[in-house]
Structure 1
């Protein structure tokens, strides 16, 4: 039996991919709402130029591995022609009531070669049966079964705890559906998760960025989180919107995050070993807003420029024979300002502290965990070698012996990007709670 602290092949592949695009669209888009209460007229949903191919092509151009769509948000409106409720695209004028947003996106993702993920909100503010937990569990599992059987392989199933504080769902039943129809899908945060929420909606991880966890966060409104049945390997996913809000609203182009702020988020999520899920909401036409799309591509284009040309070097053991260290030799004096470290994770996460020094002993970078990738920026240095040392925690079997290249690191890459520091986070506008039809209990939380 495999250890719960050792990643599966699917988890490692998800960690390597590192970056996905979130897509929020629904009746909220047409009413200036974020959390509507399930009473908005379904006939208002009419994105006359909806272009899922544009979403998928943009995601691929940005370097994203998958797109995750809000198939059902908290309002209960379904973006596919479900048999479980009339509160869906069947009742909308879009495509004359015969449309299927999930289906169009699934086809587009297949065509461009990226994965599809789906968000199915457990909290449903429209379903009359929500007040009956047993009935709603059956209803929810029928919806999940439709999504898991009609649209091909799913890269990720995303379960949001917002609005569900204190509510118990039949997660065993949910997982039975997933195990039967989508066993390879990553499961975000709820049920029997393979990924966990980082704990904020700013897109930010922290150092140390631990993969082993014994609980998952539920929402911004429940601080305790949900205890698991033990410590498990659960890499964090950092979700954040390119705008202040999750759905598109007119007149908010000035709230689109700057390229520098998006870079700052990347260094503090992907650059710390987490995954990043960046929301880009389509506008009322059903296409990405040109401002949002261009900002996304400017951001990811700059990432590509910075990390396109790694400086070649060879790893060798340290002269003192220390197990927790390597020397990176370039063969000639080389200009550097970034370093990417990658930990060997097939036996789990072990490195708890590390440092990088120049040949004269000067400290260039240091930190805690490494994980799937750790990106350091530092003042320009010219060196023919670097010395990297680390310390480790015991492996799941109680030893510290790691079957890895150079003893714990799978790869080291150096770069000369022309940038010597991680960009600063910029002040962001406050969330507009007037756009959320909140339950009374939430207003006073």
Structure 2
């Protein structure tokens, strides 16, 4: 999903589905992905070297020439930022492949980079393995270079071969990203696609199309809303939060928010002034991860093949400030008291952030929550999910009283973080 893509219906909140009647529960893989929470989106390809976000499959492979490509620098940057995984555009809509595929000549094998012997996906897979990062791959279903795209059966076989290469050459994948841009009105052989994933990468989360296990939040601003629902309807093309396309069956589909650190997804020489501020990135985090969604933040490599220095500095400025705010949490002991939960920290603690985590083993059950300190309401909202972070007016507390609404609602934990001790 890149700026300028054809419009798709996106407006409106997520449509809740039967949270009380027959709750759907996460798979272990979904829950692990939700716990991870934060990843880095690496848009990189032939567009990087031609100053465009989208291209039509005719750009010369000779223009792909990163003189200093260092996938370990990408991985080090992600780790330093606290990200748990990265997703690379192995093939964007232009069809240019970042690995030496047997399916087309339109790939790194036709570029002068490493005399045609390079493999960006392999280098990143090795770097992620060394760094302990999850690796996700984006493989655009829409391919503007493939002559056979106009022949559905032939293209489906071509696409399945590409996916099979990616699923069998590079070790475990944590996520496979199927972007719906350009595919409006097109039906792919998703049964064949999913058969490849089921056979070779059964633990990978599937984004947005096919038989998805995670969904798009519905915008490219990185913003979720409250309530942030995990159970929603699958649509036949995309899993946006609007419900305006034909509805399929209900499914447990936690959302991923995505947003670029600048205005553009691919690195562009003319947009340094659009680099988001530290405060903008913090607000995005609070409105995505802090509401119980995942966040995939676009931080693209530049024409050198390195993460841009200014982008890296801003990313780390943002994540270091986040760590400062949340990095010394106080865990509470939870006990029941009638209709409420008591969260006891064991001693007075200074608080300006609260994090509530729901027990999702029985599904997402919390519809509402209120948090009180000494009888005063200090935080409230609808869903909790894998994590719900509240910023509160600084105060010193020993105990909080929490009331949940929703049949079977349970919290797994409550933690608090705050500024240095001082006058309340």
SS at the partner of 2:389? strand
2:54 is the alignment partner of 1:35 = yes
2:217 is the alignment partner of 1:198 = yes
How do 1:264-343 and structure 2 match up within 5 A? 264-318=283-337, 321-322=338-339, 325-343=340-358
1:138 to 138, 157, 171: 157
Q: Distance in 1 between matches of 2:376 and 2:184?
A: 50
Structure-2 change in CA distance of 1:225 and 1:168 (3 Å): farther
| Structure-1 residue corresponding to 2:7 | none
Q: Return 213-222 or 23-32, whichever deviates more.
A: 213-222
1:414 to 413, 416, 422: 416
Q: Which runs of 5+ in 2 are unaligned?
A: 1-21
Structure-2 change in CA distance of 1:145 and 1:332 (3 Å): closer
| Structure-2 residue corresponding to 1:90 | 109
Q: Distance in 2 between matches of 1:4 and 1:27?
A: 45
| Structure-2 residue corresponding to 1:426 | none
Structure-2 change in CA distance of 1:67 and 1:221 (3 Å): closer
Structure-2 change in CA distance of 1:281 and 1:101 (3 Å): same
Structure-2 change in CA distance of 1:191 and 1:226 (3 Å): farther
Structure-2 change in CA distance of 1:299 and 1:157 (3 Å): same
| Structure-1 residue corresponding to 2:140 | 121
| Structure-2 residue corresponding to 1:352 | 367
| Structure-1 residue corresponding to 2:175 | 156
Q: Distance in 1 between matches of 2:308 and 2:172?
A: 28
Q: Distance in 2 between matches of 1:417 and 1:244?
A: 33
Q: How many residues align?
A: 399
- TM-score, structure 2 normalization: 0.91
CA contact (8 A) 2:233 2:243 kept: no
How far apart are 1:5 and its partner, in Å?
1.2
2:297 is the alignment partner of 1:250 = no
Q: Distance in 1 between matches of 2:419 and 2:145?
A: 51
Q: Distance in 2 between matches of 1:225 and 1:157?
A: 25
Q: Distance in 2 between matches of 1:229 and 1:75?
A: 30
| Structure-2 residue corresponding to 1:172 | 191
- TM-score, structure 1 normalization: 0.87
How do 1:182-193 and structure 2 match up within 5 A? 182-193=201-212
How far apart are 1:327 and its partner, in Å?
1.1
1:366 to 370, 375, 380: 380
Q: Distance in 2 between matches of 1:284 and 1:222?
A: 35
The list of structure 1 runs, each at least 4 consecutive aligned residues, that deviate by more than 6 angstroms after superposition, is 219-223
CA contact (8 A) 2:215 2:239 kept: no
Q: Distance in 2 between matches of 1:334 and 1:68?
A: 39
How far apart are 1:227 and its partner, in Å?
4.6
RMSD, matched Cα:
1.8
SS at the partner of 2:35? helix
Q: Distance in 2 between matches of 1:56 and 1:330?
A: 37
Q: Distance in 2 between matches of 1:149 and 1:71?
A: 14
SS at the partner of 2:144? coil
